[in-house]
Structure 1
């Protein structure tokens, strides 16, 4: 019988998703990389534009970072721009309703843009962020949203550069540079890095815990079902060694209500 050591990590929404759910109300920070014409722009941003965003930029609810030519080094690409639906015209700029709608919209379009299914999208080193108009632009009637692909995740210290055009990035066999691994004693709180770098953990599978419209089953049931599935699936991925370590990350009710239905299984491995 295999001896399995569990290293669990209940995972709340990180920087990207917190912005998605409307948890951050700060406007775009002013700095040398800011385009003054974008700061309080009422007109929607440019689709396909590339920028050099940082994790700090992604923590803000709006963004006015200068665009760069996509042939130059960049860490973000705008893959969706649009106006808000009529049902959200009168909501508050930082409302949970707006954040939940943006979460669902950007995450669905994220998978389509990359060519990824839900499981692969959750195990990729890239993620997404969304931005809304500044407070002044909102007061002036701006009602657009912008979804950006970014070269990192919620615990990334730095973002990696994206290709000139990231559309269809996940079509075909995906190299390790775009898959997410972790460096640290445990999955929880560890630095998430591309699997092409030295690492201790690799995200190998996911488990779907419900369908759209299902009620949240509760933290305990989510954890137990995740643990049982990950114990088996990680063992299979490692070809059932005598001893192995697993990690798993699961989400809570707020993320469930926003549309997430998957937990992630991690294998202790350096390859």
Structure 2
């Protein structure tokens, strides 16, 4: 059984979000800001300081695209809000950098996504944590709001339009309804989602938490040791057999992604040729080519 690893480097951070998360800044592009992360506080009320005529979506409401105004979740939307928050503490007049915003609040957004979806292993699905915050113009006008949310990712890593709520969607066997399958093998490329009944080369089989993102990133050797043991065991459980024609691969974060809340490694079942149905509980049966 072969084993592979792939580190998500800072240079591939945006691509890496096809696995786990994406973000949008509303109304503007972040300008250069402080090098230290801003503190943040949560709230259940719209943040003060923005345009008074615009209401910002609250927890359990949905938004479409980069517009933070709420839309009916029963109608097409891209993001479902899991938490409403505002940045606290002394803040500069100019918007903070994207990395400062992510370091300040995205670990919280990731944790809120797990609670909202009903399973902390959501990185092995096409559902991802999302973050929106006040854009440059609103920021300069005094707005300090941000919104955590969840979205379903398409093949290009962007949020796809959907209808209905995903609250508690992963409770029970829900992971199987949203499982991440990828067209390309994860040992060779950052995987982009594809439907599991379409030709694919891998399926996510496990997520292994490696620590607290507020603590230092574990050594590469620790990731490797854990992956070789736990990903291999997870693969055998997923297949309900040990096979030589299905290998195990994994992805792990770099230091920057770790600080942003990506504190686990994701294990994959990988095939040499595309398969057209799930490998779950395949046992010793022929591959569904």
- What TM-score do the two structures reach when normalised by structure 1? 0.74
What is residue 172 of structure 2 aligned with on the other side?
172
- C-alpha contact 1:8 1:248 (8 A) present in aligned 2: yes
What is residue 274 of structure 2 aligned with on the other side?
none
Q: Structure 1 residue 243: deviation in Å?
A: 4.2
Q: Determine if the alignment matches structure 1 residue 70 to structure 2 residue 73.
A: yes
Q: Which of 63, 68, 72 is equivalent to 1:51?
A: 63
Q: Structure 1 residue 218: deviation in Å?
A: 3.0
In structure 2, relative to structure 1, the CA distance for the partners of 1:92 and 1:260 (3 Å cut) is farther
> Unaligned stretches of 5+ in structure 1?
28-39, 54-62
- Note the alpha carbon deviations across 1:161-195, whole angstroms, 9 max, x for none: 242x2222122221633111111244523321243
> Unaligned stretches of 5+ in structure 2?
31-49, 272-276, 279-289
What is residue 38 of structure 2 aligned with on the other side?
none
Q: Which of 107, 110, 113 is equivalent to 1:107?
A: 110
How many residues in Structure 1 have an aligned counterpart in Structure 2?
240
In structure 2, relative to structure 1, the CA distance for the partners of 1:10 and 1:162 (3 Å cut) is farther
Q: Which of 82, 88, 97 is equivalent to 1:79?
A: 82
Secondary structure of the residue aligned to 1:78 is strand
Secondary structure of the residue aligned to 2:200 is coil
In structure 2, relative to structure 1, the CA distance for the partners of 1:76 and 1:98 (3 Å cut) is closer
After superposition, the CA RMSD in angstroms is 3.1
What is residue 47 of structure 2 aligned with on the other side?
none
What is residue 211 of structure 2 aligned with on the other side?
210
Secondary structure of the residue aligned to 1:122 is helix
In structure 2, relative to structure 1, the CA distance for the partners of 1:70 and 1:206 (3 Å cut) is closer
- Note the alpha carbon deviations across 1:229-260, whole angstroms, 9 max, x for none: 32333234321124431111111111222333
Q: Determine if the alignment matches structure 1 residue 262 to structure 2 residue 264.
A: yes
Cα separation, 2, equivalents of 1:186 and 1:134: 34
